[in-house]
Structure formats: structure tokens, C-alpha cells
């Protein structure tokens, strides 16, 4: 039995192409959810064609998403209680040849890898091997990846650099890219959302919004120097922190944009003249689409598109200013990986006797 363990919308988006391919072959799977994201994750499951969760490990913090450190602590306590209560039963009832599949760099990635160890099952890690080389940036994602890398037994790596990072490990499989590219390609090549010239801004990571000086400097430059109006993506996790920023810098150029369905968001990216984001998932999507993108991070563990249509800011405001001025020079034609990463993963699981 293949068991996907995930808890965020980004994980769901990247797992869904693999799950759809399993279903197309009549191969069963289960989904165990931790709901780091709550309402947003519940809303996206039907859109992605993912099954209702087989088991709920935790439901965020009392049904609310994890926003603060104390929320994470209480969530981890709930997860720990679930593991203690269910380990014996799961060891007895899961069929032989089962595998736990985790994705990416979240706390749930670590939790899923640990559950696999407790159940004495192999753990397959999708998007494995990515490293920034600095455990402080991005935090805690870099630590999450390193821990999952220690616990996992099968590593699905999206880049040659990631494969090199895990060169001392066994069962390292090159997937020719990130499964998020399948999430985009599977939707077809329809055009974008239209509506004139605009930029898209999505800045929501804790590392960014917990740094008031950086937030203020960033939005001051965006408002003063962007040649285009900006659609500011706002969700349950960044909305409160960005509300004060909107009030301070004004709404004339910053238009709040409520969270979109994934397909609608991809259409928005295709229509945008440029993107400013701190999201690794959007970096991979933007690299595929070819839209000029500034990744507003100190470091990034991914190399997709960097040096082509993607610029890493390293939190240097002069790089943001230069990007806003020169963004048209970064646009390039959309590209597809030579193989479907999700197909590679499914074929490997079948070859190992873990998908049947």
C-alpha cells in the first residue's frame, strides 16, 4: 500500500500528479493528513482530484492553521499522541510491501519520515536532495530536508545538483524535474487571466513576514519603483501581517488578491509581466512558464530557472530595484522537462514492488 503523508497545500499540489497517475493505473493509495493548513487544504483536495483522507493525524491547531510557534508546539504534541496510539495497530494492519511517501521540506515531511521509521516501512521522499547549504536560510525548511534525508530510504531528486548532494546514499532516482511541473502541464497550455499589465507579489514565508524591517523596505521599493500595478496575494497565513503594510504604503498600486484555485493561479502567472515571491513552489512553476521572477530569499535550495528568467535577491534591495527596472529582459519561452517527474516516480515504485 502506498501511503501519502502531507499537510500543506503546496505538498498536495506536488503529490497530486503522482496520485492521479496511480489512479489511472488502478493502483490504490491512502492519504494521511496532518492539516498544517486547514481550510485551504480541504478546499484544494477536490480540485486536485485527491481522495478524502484515509486518516487524520492532526487537524492543525483545533481546526485552525498553524500561525505561531505555540501552534506548532501543540500540533506536534497532537501528532506525537496519534503516533503512540496508532503505531501498534498500523504495524498489524498495513499490508506487506507498504511504503510511506512524503514530499518536500515541511514539518509534515519530517513527521511522515519518522512515522515510516516507527512502522518499520520504507520512506520515499519526493523532491529530495535540495540543499541551500545554510541551515538558517530557509528556516526551518533546510533542517526539515536534512532530517527527512536521513530518515528516507528512497530519494526522488529533481536536479543533478540534488543527486550529487545525495551521492553517498542508495536508492537515489533522478526525476528530471519537480512534480509541480506536472501539476502545471496537466492543466494544458491555456492562456492566462488577462486584465491588462500587472505584476504578482506573493510574500508569505515566516522568515520574511517576521522581519518587519525587511517587509517595510521591500514594500516601500515595490510601491515606489514598480512600473506596473501589483496583485498582492493574501492568504490566511500572511494576511494579518500584511494588512499593516497595506495601510502604511497605500493601496493605490497594491491590489489585494484573495487566494485562487491552483488552475486560476497558474493562469494569473501566465498573464503576469513579472513575479516577486519567496515561494520555492512558485519558483519551479515560474521556471516552467518563463515569466520573469524575483525570488525574495536570502538563499534558495533550488536552481530551476536561476540565471535565466529567475533572479535571487539575497534580500538585497538594490537587486529588487534592478529587477523592477529590467524585468522584460528576463522573459523566456516556456519549457518542459524531457520526462514527466511523476511518471518516473510511479514507474520506480512499480519496479520496486511497492505499487501494485
More confident residue, 185 or 342: 342
Q: 172 lies in a domain?
A: yes
Do 345 and 321 share a structural domain? no
Which has more pLDDT, 138 or 120?
A: 120
Please tell me whether residues 173 and 204 are part of one structural domain.
Answer: no
Residue 186 lies in a domain: no
Contact 284, 303 (CB under 8 A): no
Average pLDDT, the chain: 90
Q: In this structure, are 78 and 154 located in the same domain?
A: yes
State which residues form the domain around 280: 199-330
In a shared domain, residues 321 and 300: yes
Q: What is the largest CA-CA distance in the chain?
A: 62
Same domain, 19 and 154: yes
pLDDT of residue 96: 92
Distance CA 253, CA 235 (A): 19
CATH number, domain with residue 108: 3.40.50.2000
pTM value? Answer: 0.84
In a domain, 187, yes or no: no
Looking at the structure, tell me whether residues 233 and 296 fall in a common domain: yes
In a domain, 97, yes or no: yes
Would 306 be classed as within a structural domain? yes
pLDDT digits (tens, 9 = 90+) for 192-216: 545 569 999 999 887 888 888 998 9
Whether residues 318 and 346 share a domain: the answer is no
Q: What is the mean pLDDT of residues 144-165?
A: 96
Task: Answer yes or no: do 235 and 317 share one domain.
Answer: yes
Count of the separate structural domains present in the chain = 2
Q: Which residues contact 63 (CB under 8 A, 6 or more apart)?
A: 38
Flag whether 56 is in a domain.
yes
Considering the domain architecture, whether residues 58 and 96 belong to the same structural domain is answered as yes
Residues 174 and 240 reside in one and the same domain: no
pLDDT the model gives residue 338:
86
All three cell numbers of 338, joined, read 524531457
- Residue 130 has a pLDDT of 92
How far apart CA 315 and CA 104 sit, in angstroms, is 23
pLDDT of 240 reads 58
Residue 208 and residue 168 in one domain:
no
DSSP string, 56-80: ES--TBTTB---SHHHHHHHHHHHH
Task: Decide if 192 is inside a domain.
Answer: no
189 falls within a domain: no
Same domain, 270 and 140: no
Contact (CB, 8 A) for 181 and 336: yes
What's the pLDDT tens digit per position in 290-336?
A: 999 999 998 888 888 889 999 999 999 999 999 999 999 999 998 88
> What would you report as the CA-atom Rg of the chain, rounded to the nearest whole angstrom?
20
Grid cell, residue 152, equals: 528516507
Amino acid at each position: 500500500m502506498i501511503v501519502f503523508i502531507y499537510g500543506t497545500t503546496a505538498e498536495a499540489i506536488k503529490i497530486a500528479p503522482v496520485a492521479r497517475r496511480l489512479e489511472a493505473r488502478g493502483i490504490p493509495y491512502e492519504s494521511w493528513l496532518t492539516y498544517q493548513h486547514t481550510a485551504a487544504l480541504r478546499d484544494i483536495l477536490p480540485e486536485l482530484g485527491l481522495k478524502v483522507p484515509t486518516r487524520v493525524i492532526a487537524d492543525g491547531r483545533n481546526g485552525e492553521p498553524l500561525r505561531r510557534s505555540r501552534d506548532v508546539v501543540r500540533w506536534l504534541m497532537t501528532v506525537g499522541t496519534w503516533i503512540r496510539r496508532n503505531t501498534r495497530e498500523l504495524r498489524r494492519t498495513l499490508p506487506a510491501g507498504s511504503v510511506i511517501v512524503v514530499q518536500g521540506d515541511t514539518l509534515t515531511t519530517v513527521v511522515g519520515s519518522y512515522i515510516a521509521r516507527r512502522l518499520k516501512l520504507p520512506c520515499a521522499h519526493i523532491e529530495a536532495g535540495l540543499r541551500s547549504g545554510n541551515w538558517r536560510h530557509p528556516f526551518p525548511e533546510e533542517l526539515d530536508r536534512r532530517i527527512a534525508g536521513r530518515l528516507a530510504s528512497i530519494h526522488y531528486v529533481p536536479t543533478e545538483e540534488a543527486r550529487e548532494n545525495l551521492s553517498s546514499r542508495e536508492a537515489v532516482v533522478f526525476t528530471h524535474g519537480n512534480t509541480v511541473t506536472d501539476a502545471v502541464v496537466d492543466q494544458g497550455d491555456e492562456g492566462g487571466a488577462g486584465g491588462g499589465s500587472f505584476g504578482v507579489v506573493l510574500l508569505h514565508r515566516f522568515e520574511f513576514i517576521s522581519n518587519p524591517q525587511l517587509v517595510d523596505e521591500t514594500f516601500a521599493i515595490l510601491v515606489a519603483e514598480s512600473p506596473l500595478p501589483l496583485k498582492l496575494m493574501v492568504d490566511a497565513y500572511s494576511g494579518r501581517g500584511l494588512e499593516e503594510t497595506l495601510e502604511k504604503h497605500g493601496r493605490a498600486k497594491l491590489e489585494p488578491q484573495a487566494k485562487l484555485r491552483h488552475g486560476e493561479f497558474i493562469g494569473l502567472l501566465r498573464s503576469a509581466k513579472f513575479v516577486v515571491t519567496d515561494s520555492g513552489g512558485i519558483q519551479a512553476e515560474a521556471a516552467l512558464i518563463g515569466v520573469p521572477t524575483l525570488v525574495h530569499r536570502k538563499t534558495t535550495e533550488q536552481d530551476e530557472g536561476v540565471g535565466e528568467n529567475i533572479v535571487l535577491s539575497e534580500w538585497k534591495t538594490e537587486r529588487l530595484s534592478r529587477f523592477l527596472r529590467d524585468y522584460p529582459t528576463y522573459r523566456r519561452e516556456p519549457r518542459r522537462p524531457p520526462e514527466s517527474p511523476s511518471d518516473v516516480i510511479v514507474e520506480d515504485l512499480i519496479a520496486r514492488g511497492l505499487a501494485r
